[in-house]
Amino acid sequence: MSDKLMISRMGASVPDTIWVQGRNLCTELLGKIGFAEMTWLELTGELPSKAQTTLLEAMLLTLVEHGATPMAIATRLTYLGAPEALQGAVAAGLLGMGTTFAGTAEGAAKMLYAGLKDAPADADIDTIAKTIVDRELDAGRPIFGIGHNLHKPIDPRTPVLFAIAEQQGYRGRFVDLIEAVAAAAEARTGKSMPVNATGALGALCCELGLDWRLCRGLAVIGRSVGLVGHIAEEPRNPIAKQIWMHTEEEIARSVAIANAKQGQDA
């Protein structure tokens, strides 16, 4: 067998003690820290400051619930088929937290880190923003974290998140940069393209110094709460079976119309 060591410092257990990140779960953590602090501890190996905790809590809350999303529908349909396995219903919903939704926070954070990577302290943020916008739009790519189909002219979550960041001393150059990117995109396209909630989350991940890959992780953690919430509501307000039946009926109706139309055309 390989001589290479297999190191992990996440946790360990002996009969009378459970260690989490090198801390005693029972004497140092339970009843001493909150759930958001535990999240930070798991992600970084350190306990957060009060300011970091406050900002992280707001970020985690942002993506918990957004009504009948594709993820929430998938969870409720899966729970209908496999009520014995709540974990499977939550997993099914989380699987939709991909590039289309949560991936934009990740993409925004990656873009912001890259944009400021080698930038000197006095670099002109607007110039960097314009370079990013031109590069992405010239290549025909969307700019992560900018614009929203529903929330117009602004995404109401963004100013609240940035205000909390400012109160906690975490409004810095990454927030400046994404706001400059939004302004540059508006200037070039002539369309309203404000920073959306995933863009704000991406910028705040950078302000907190978290790996851009973990943006999606924060989205997954927050959404897991929301998906358990949907399972909790399903017995009170059952909608899964109706969504199924409506879909079958709508497809049958649509196919009949399409077939009749083909018949007429023939």
Strand partners, 12: 19
Least gap, CB of 72 to a copy of itself (angstroms): 7
Find all residues with CB under 8 Å of 151, minimum gap 6, and list them. Answer: 157, 196, 197
Q: Which of residues 108-167 bind a copy of itself (CB under 8 A)?
A: 150-152, 154, 156-157, 160-161, 163-164
Nearer to a copy of itself, 187 or 255 (CB): 255
Among all chains, which residue has been given the structure tokens 């055309």? Answer: 265
Supply the Cα-derived Rg of the chain in whole angstroms.
Answer: 23
Least gap, CB of 212 to a copy of itself (angstroms): 11
x/- mask, a copy of itself, residues 41-60, rule CB under 8 A, reads: -xxx---------x--xx-x
Q: Which of residues 1-40 bind a copy of itself (CB under 8 A)?
A: 1-2, 4-18, 20-21, 25-27, 29-31, 33-36, 38-39
Name the token pair of 156: 């109401």
Q: Closest Cα partner for 42 from 22, 61, 57, 62?
A: 22
Residue range at the interface with a copy of itself (CB under 8 A); choices 113-121, 128-136, 177-185, 230-238: 230-238
x/- mask, a copy of itself, residues 164-203, rule CB under 8 A, reads: x---------------------------------------
Query: E strand or H helix at 187, and its extent?
Result: helix 173-189
Strand partners, 202: none
Least gap, CB of 216 to a copy of itself (angstroms): 5
Alpha-carbon separation of residue 17 from 26, 37, 39, 42, 168 (angstroms):
8, 21, 21, 18, 35
